[in-house]
Amino acid sequence: MTHHWTVHAVKYAERNTRVRGDSFIFDDHPAEPHGMDYFVWLLSDGARHILVDTGYDAVEGARRERPILRDPARAIEPLGVTAEAIDTVIITHLHYDHAGGLDRYPNATFHLQAAEMAYATGPCMCHPTLQMPFTADHVCEMVRCVYSGRVVFHDGSGQVTPGVRVHRIGGHSRGLQVVEVDTAHGPLCLASDATHYYENFLRGKPFPIVADLPDMLEGFSTLIGLGGGHHRVIPGHDPLVRQYFPQADQVDFAWRLDQGPVVDIPR
């Protein structure tokens, strides 16, 4: 029997000082404004809750001059879930805006690609350009979780729990994984930074922060297959998610994803 999950995107930060050149390689209008939203994603089956990514906190926001709107660990509470109630966290990759505040989830096991841990702790991090999206304290906290027996490593594709699977895409970060979720309305692909925006994967326009460009480009078509169509692929940072999907009941910074978009998403 298929296990069905509900899925919410929870916005915790935004950055509106960006331009299109920050989002797309070889864009024709690189100086035009292009905002970015920051999300974590909450999966629920009525009895159990899984978090996808953990965001970053106010301290990290101040360090990078990217302030948060709300604490990601507290932002899930209006949806009826506390950080302490989360027993499984899927970390799509170890960049600062996806893997901060791991200590806020004391009862969680973390699911991560082995390739991502190797990348974030290996010789590639000797290059400041590749090191930039990572925060050493976040990576060290994940290492501590490994030593305390709280990390499950995946090598490619694997099942986290019935109805929730991960798949390594790479590209943006060497061990980046996406999450395939079974819902009552069909499969859903939480793409995280395999595609920051709809325009990345629908137009074949890669994001400039990239570890392996061919992997990123090939991953775009993989996302559509996992979601069963482009309308079931959820980009990691696109403000359009807030226009395409219904707002959660009585929570103005969360959006219900599993039921599908409320408008036709242009290709």
The CATH number of the domain holding residue 114 is 3.60.15.10
Number of domains making up the chain: 1
What is the domain range of residue 37? 6-256
Q: Give Cα separations from 136 to 7, 86, 214 (angstroms).
A: 30, 24, 27
Beta carbons of 248 and 81 less than 8 angstroms apart = no
Q: Is 203 a member of any domain?
A: yes
Q: Does 260 have pLDDT greater than 80?
A: yes
264 belongs to a structural domain:
no
Q: pLDDT confidence of 1, banded at 50, 70, 90?
A: low
Q: Is residue 263 part of a domain?
A: no
Instruction: Kindly state whether residue 79 falls inside one of the protein's structural domains.
Output: yes
- Assess if residue 261 is contained within a domain: no
Inside any domain, residue 35: yes
Distance CA 19, CA 33 (A): 4
Distance CA 188, CA 190 (A): 6
Rg for the chain, CA atoms, rounded:
17
Length of the chain: 267
pLDDT digits (tens, 9 = 90+) for 215-246: 999 999 999 999 999 999 999 999 999 999 99
Which three-class secondary structure state does DSSP give residue 227? helix
Query: Is 1 inside a domain boundary?
Result: no
Q: Is residue 163 part of a domain?
A: yes
For residue 229, the model assigns a pLDDT of 97
